Every structure is written in C-alpha cells, then in structure tokens.
Amino acid sequence: MDLSETTEHHGDGSRTPRPGNLTPSPPRSRAGSGNGKRTLDEKGRLWKEDEGEVARLMRTVDFAARKHTCQRRKDLDQTPYINHPIAVSNFLSSTGITDVRVLQAAILHDTVEDTPTTIEEIAEHFGPDVARIVQECTDNPNLSGQGAKAEQVRSAPHKSKEAQQVKLADKLHNLESIRRAPPVGWGVRRVQAYFIWAKQVTDICGPSHPALAKRLQRLYETAYTEIDGKYIPCHPEVCGPLLEEEKSRIDKRLHHLKKGEKPCPMPIFF
C-alpha cells in the first residue's frame, strides 16, 4: 500500500498515520476454525466437558471475535463491536461472577441476534447451558425495535438468574457508553428514553447481582451527557444535580461544540 495514502507528512520529516477506508476481511467459517478442521470429542461434540476454564473462555472470545469481525458500534469512533461483549463479561468477572458459563454467555450474548449464528451452533461449540443463557438474552427477530424493548420488560422477571446477570452488565456498558458520548445522531429524547427503558429492565433484574444493581442505580442518579453544547440528565426522573466530577466522565470532544457541529472521531491508527 502507498504510504502517502495513509500517512500525513510534516515539515520535520515525521509522519502521522491518517485514518483510511479499510475493507474488512470476510468472516471466518462458521465452524470457528481458520483451517476448516473440527475437533470432536468421543460423542461428536465440538465442546468438551473436561476442557480447562481458561481455555474454554479464550476459545469463546476467539469465536465471538470471528463472528463480529466486520461489525462496529454506533458510537462516534465506530469502535469494533467485539469491545462490547468483552466489556460485558469483564463487568461480571470484576464484580464477583466466577461461573465461566455466565462469562461465556456474556461474550456470546449478541452473536445470535446480530450475526449469522444459531443457538444450535452455540450449543455445539460451548454446550447446552451456555446456549440456554444466550437464547434468553436474544431478542425475538420478529418484533420491531419498540416491540423488542417492551418484550424485554415483560419477560425479564421470568429469565434465569444467569441471564438477568448478563442483562445487567449489558445495560451497564451501553448506558456508560451513552453517558460518555451518545451514538451519532441521538438527541435528548432518544438518550432519555433509552435510560428510562433500561431502568425498567434492570430494576427487575437487580436482585440477581446486587453489585451491578448498585452501580446502575448510581448511574441513573448521576449520569449526564452533552448534546448541542448543553448538559442534559440522562434519566430525567431520578437524576440529581450536575456535579463537576460528572463533567469529567463526558467525552471532552463534546464540550465546546456548537449546535450542528460534529466532533471528530479518533483516528484508527495511533
């Protein structure tokens, strides 16, 4: 590749990498193996009950990364989508969840909903327990966006404890991401509607993991974000006054924007 297309040259002879339009590589095979080979146990399964927990967890991360290869988040910087499920799993592990099945389900929770992956495939690779939790965390594809949100509220009390834990961590990462910098194109009403709906879900799931429920409640009571140069409470019904500490949590690129201006994304290369 011609370096002049991807670098900015300076008078002192130095060069700064410049973001480029990269063509993502196609997803790997659905078997999850780069060379197409499948390792089966004596019962013909891809997963093994006696596999070490660390190996199982890393295999799950690898599988999810392959599935989400070409996807990016809707945030300002279009961060790789895989950052989200890894963060969800990390929220759980860092707050005392040691059940590897739950951590695996957190990493895989969007694969069926957002990629060409089936529950049967999850079960084949990672076993029925992980597949069950992932299925509980997967929205019905036949419902509209608002319909799926209403269904999450309706079905939340009937989810397993493990699925409720994943839901809490999923919402926490999404909410903290919105607080830092709302997705491109989101206005005040959409931000606040998302927080109000998320609280309905997490209030139901809260008893499944009090440590995350406490973090979420603190978030609802303190979270502000910045839109069109104005600080707005993310959850208008329960949010308290804006604190100076809260301002530091908001992406600094939003601080001096005037209405209609758009902040610059971070460069892809560093």
Q: Please name the CATH architecture into which domain 53-254 falls.
A: Orthogonal Bundle (1.10)
**pLDDT tens digits along 142-162:** 888 899 999 999 999 999 999
Percent of the residues in the chain that have a pLDDT greater than 70, as a whole number: 77
Sort residue 235 into left (φ over 0), alpha (ψ -120 to 50) or beta: beta
Please identify every residue annotated as catalytic.
113-114
* Res. 199: pLDDT tops 70: yes
**pLDDT tens digits along 61-81:** 999 999 999 999 988 888 899
Q: How confident is the model at residue 11 (pLDDT cuts 50, 70, 90)?
A: very low
pLDDT at 51: 80
Q: Which residue has the higher pLDDT, 13 or 80?
A: 80
pTM to 2 decimals? 0.80
Mean pLDDT of the chain: 83
**pLDDT tens digits along 28-64:** 333 333 334 455 555 556 667 778 899 999 999 999 9
Q: Using CA atoms, how far apart are residues 225 and 67, in angstroms rounded to an integer?
A: 32
Q: How far is CA 89 from CA 78, 107, 133, 209, 218, in A?
A: 20, 6, 13, 14, 20
pLDDT at 99: 97
pLDDT at 257: 67
pLDDT at 228: 86
**pLDDT tens digits along 109-142:** 999 999 999 999 999 999 999 999 999 999 998 8
